[in-house]
């Protein structure tokens, strides 16, 4: 009986020692080089898709960059929730083709939260142009807006999507 108690005590001591000296048991799972690179590439691609479809005014493709219930925070504080609301918003914008003010996505930082979630910070620079014509180049005068966007990206059944996004305009051209 006493032997059994000692064995139990030893097992508990061993278990506590294992927990104390194995912080990795509680750490977020280690990502392989391939897993990390794929996550970064996929989340960066979302940023590029966001900019491309926004400029093209492709409402459905733009909405599909988000999760089904994705949230898109606008600069006026309004938050659009869900793909349908996001697509409706884009469709309601006045058509302007060709778009002479493409947002240039520049620095993009992807920070993994776990294997299926990541935070993304991205910068965009939007030039101010002198007009648009399909045949002539656009004459750049200056930049119009420099903004910072903050997104939460999540891995869904149909790949990586933006679950939540908000942005701040940090610089703008003088009025």
Is 175 a binder of another protein (CB under 8 A)? yes
Is 94 a binder of another protein (CB under 8 A)? no
Is 74 a binder of another protein (CB under 8 A)? no
Is 171 a binder of another protein (CB under 8 A)? yes
For 36, the 3-state DSSP assignment is helix
Smallest distance from another protein to CB 109, Å:
4
Smallest distance from another protein to CB 127, Å:
11
The C-alpha atoms of residue 18 and residue 58 are separated, in whole angstroms, by 55
Is 157 a binder of another protein (CB under 8 A)? no
User: Sign of dihedral through CA atoms 53, 46, 136, 130?
Assistant: positive
**Number of other residues whose CB lies within 10 A of the CB of residue 119:** 15
**Number of other residues whose CB lies within 10 A of the CB of residue 94:** 5
- Residues 120, 109 contacting (CB under 8 angstroms): yes
- Chain centroid, CA 14 distance in Å: 43
CA distances from 46 to 8, 19, 41, 88, 95 (A): 53, 39, 9, 20, 23
- Residues 57, 99 contacting (CB under 8 angstroms): yes
Cβ nearer to another protein, comparing 63 with 103: 103
Applying CB under 8 A, among 123, 152, 163, 167 the residue interacting with another protein is: 123
Smallest distance from another protein to CB 32, Å:
9
Smallest distance from another protein to CB 143, Å:
7
Candidates 52-60, 87-95, 122-130, 132-140 — which segment interacts with another protein by CB under 8 A? Answer: 122-130
Is 142 a binder of another protein (CB under 8 A)? yes
Is 40 a binder of another protein (CB under 8 A)? yes
Q: Residues interacting with another protein, by CB under 8 A? A: 33-34, 36-38, 40-41, 104, 106-111, 121, 123, 125, 128, 142-143, 145-146, 148, 168-175
């Amino acid at each position: 009986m006493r032997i059994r108690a000692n064995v139990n005590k030893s097992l508990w001591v061993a278990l506590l020692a294992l927990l104390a000296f194995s912080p990795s048991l509680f750490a977020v799972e280690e990502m392989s080089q391939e897993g990390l690179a794929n996550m970064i590439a996929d989340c960066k691609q979302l940023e590029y898709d966001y900019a491309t479809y926004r400029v093209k005014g492709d409402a459905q493709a733009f909405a599909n960059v988000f999760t089904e219930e994705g949230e898109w925070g606008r600069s006026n504080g309004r938050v659009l929730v869900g793909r349908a609301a996001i697509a409706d918003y884009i469709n309601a914008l006045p058509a302007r083709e060709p778009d002479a003010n493409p947002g240039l996505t520049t620095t993009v930082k992807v920070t993994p939260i776990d294997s299926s979630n990541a935070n993304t910070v991205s910068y965009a620079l939007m030039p101010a142009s002198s007009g648009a014509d399909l045949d002539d180049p656009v004459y750049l005068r200056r930049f119009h807006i420099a903004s910072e966007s903050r997104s939460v990206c999540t891995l869904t059944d149909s790949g990586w999507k933006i679950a939540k996004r908000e942005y701040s305009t940090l610089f703008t051209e003088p009025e």
